[in-house]
Amino acid sequence: MKPASNTPDWVLAALEERRQQDLMRRTITLDSPQIPHTQIQSQDYTAFCSNDYLGLANHPKLIKALNDTAQAYGVGGGSSHLVCGHLAPHQALEEALADWLGYERVMLFSTGYMANLGVISALADKNRPIVQDKLNHASLIDGALLAQAQLRRYLHGDVESAQKLIARSAPGGLLITDGVFSMDGDIAPLAELSQLANQHDWMFMVDDAHGLGCLGENGRGCLALEGLDATSLPILVGTLGKAFGTAGAFVATSNDYADYLTQFARPYVYTTAMSPAIAGATLASLQLIQSAEGQERRDRLARHITYFRQRVQSLPVTLMPSNTAIQPIVIGDSKAAIAISEQLKVLGIWCTAIRPPTVPVGSARLRITLSAAHSDEDLVLLCDSLEKVLTAKLLNAKCLNPKRLNTK
């Protein structure tokens, strides 16, 4: 029977298909701030799936900076950056980010998704092709679609594969990679990719959403880890909703590229500037990231990563080659991934199962993320719980097929 809302049949069919494939997504409401000891539907959980890698999302200094900036500059940006929405806190943040990373200019965007759409659609077109890693974030793929550029995707992390695709493409294109891969946690071979782009006279762009703040000297991300700079990596995108603990994004680049993007990056031109209060909070976050406290947080995170990998290596799963805060356990089947996530919930662990199309078909996973805000006890609880849930005994008891676990 057709529902009263007159929903078209194709919408209902698409929903039903998602349900049948165990791929239906729903939002989950947290009753607490973004902290590891979270409350969901009146239950207490220790969460291991947030991108708040340094535990700054609920930091008192950020909350104070947000309040203080809102007192001084209000809440809303009021218009786009180019009309009258670029306030002093935006300018201060742009200058501080540029200084930290060693670039001539930084431009703020409202989200990382929009930054990638904006930069790619401005730089690529029908005559300027794009070559990018197969596992790049969805926003980098969507940017290529918006650009209407020819898009070729190379084998994950494979410089030779990238080289072959560039050789087959029209000249003067754009080579793009994630810095830290969002669903796998590994790091792209940035120095080699930079050389490749340089040899072919291509533009080179890196989205370091998951590296900035967490990795490298002073938290400068993959750039610092791989010994790159503004010349070898001319277009660097960073997001502010992850290690920075706030919201928004930026591109760090040269004066010329920034001037060009200011004219032609439509998701920059035709949208309201981020809240000035968020810019103020993000400046406080950047100061923390650069301080001794920031380094302590990175060190604690690194200790958690080492402990986790040591404990999990004895379980019947394969760890990904990741030394970052993202430590996925690939399960394969979506139903099995959901079942394991549910079993972890019973033990007080919250880790949402990540399924296609976010990850390739057959590679549903627990995308476990670690944070400096986790305590040593939290890590022990996580590893003990995984041990219980992932051992064959429990899997059999819950009618899961352990062969489906990735035991490569």
Ligand X SMILES: Cc1ncc(COP(=O)(O)O)c(C=O)c1O
What positions carry a catalytic annotation?
182, 210, 242
> Of 238 and 294, which CB lies nearer to ligand X in the complex structure?
238
Please check whether residue 229 is in contact with residue 220, taking contact to mean a CB–CB distance below 8 angstroms. no
Strands 37-40 and 43-47: what pairing? antiparallel
Stretch that binds ligand X, among 29-37, 110-118, 381-389, 390-398 (CB under 6 A): 110-118
Report d(CA 248, CA 240) in Å as an integer: 5
> Around Cβ 2, how many Cβ atoms within 10 Å?
9
- Residue 137 as a binder of ligand X (CB under 6 A): the answer is yes
Q: Please enumerate in sequence order all residues whose Cβ is within 8 A of that of 397, keeping only pairs 6 or more positions apart, or say none.
A: none
- Residue 363 as a binder of ligand X (CB under 6 A): the answer is no
Site residues for ligand X, window 331-360 (CB under 6 A)? Answer: none
> Of 52 and 378, which CB lies nearer to ligand X in the complex structure?
52
Q: Given candidates 103, 113, 154, 204, which one binds ligand X under the rule CB under 6 A?
A: 113
Nearest to 401 by CA among 344, 356, 336: 336
Q: Given candidates 121, 194, 239, 285, which one binds ligand X under the rule CB under 6 A?
A: 239
> Of 278 and 379, which CB lies nearer to ligand X in the complex structure?
278
- Residue 178 as a binder of ligand X (CB under 6 A): the answer is yes
Interface size with ligand X, residues (CB under 6 A): 13
In the bound state, the residue with its beta carbon closest to ligand X is 112
Site residues for ligand X, window 276-315 (CB under 6 A)? Answer: none
- Residue 117 as a binder of ligand X (CB under 6 A): the answer is no
> Of 175 and 400, which CB lies nearer to ligand X in the complex structure?
175
Smallest gap from residue 380 Cβ to ligand X (A): 28
Please check whether residue 310 is in contact with residue 316, taking contact to mean a CB–CB distance below 8 angstroms. no
Report d(CA 311, CA 307) in Å as an integer: 6
- Residue 182 as a binder of ligand X (CB under 6 A): the answer is yes
Smallest gap from residue 199 Cβ to ligand X (A): 25
Is the CA virtual torsion 368, 372, 373, 378 positive or negative?
A: positive
Q: Given candidates 249, 265, 353, 395, which one binds ligand X under the rule CB under 6 A?
A: 249
Q: Given candidates 209, 288, 317, 372, which one binds ligand X under the rule CB under 6 A?
A: 209
> Around Cβ 49, how many Cβ atoms within 10 Å?
15
- Residue 163 as a binder of ligand X (CB under 6 A): the answer is no
Please check whether residue 176 is in contact with residue 132, taking contact to mean a CB–CB distance below 8 angstroms. yes
Stretch that binds ligand X, among 19-27, 106-114, 124-132, 395-403 (CB under 6 A): 106-114
Classify residue 62 as exposed, middle or buried by CB count within 10 Å of its CB (0-12, 13-18, 19+). Answer: buried
Site residues for ligand X, window 32-91 (CB under 6 A)? Answer: none
Q: Please enumerate in sequence order all residues whose Cβ is within 8 A of that of 308, keeping only pairs 6 or more positions apart, or say none.
A: 327, 368, 370, 379, 382, 383
For residue 39, what are its two tokens?
A: 């409350």
Interface residues with ligand X (CB under 6 A) are 111-113, 116, 137, 139, 178, 182, 207, 209, 239, 241, 249
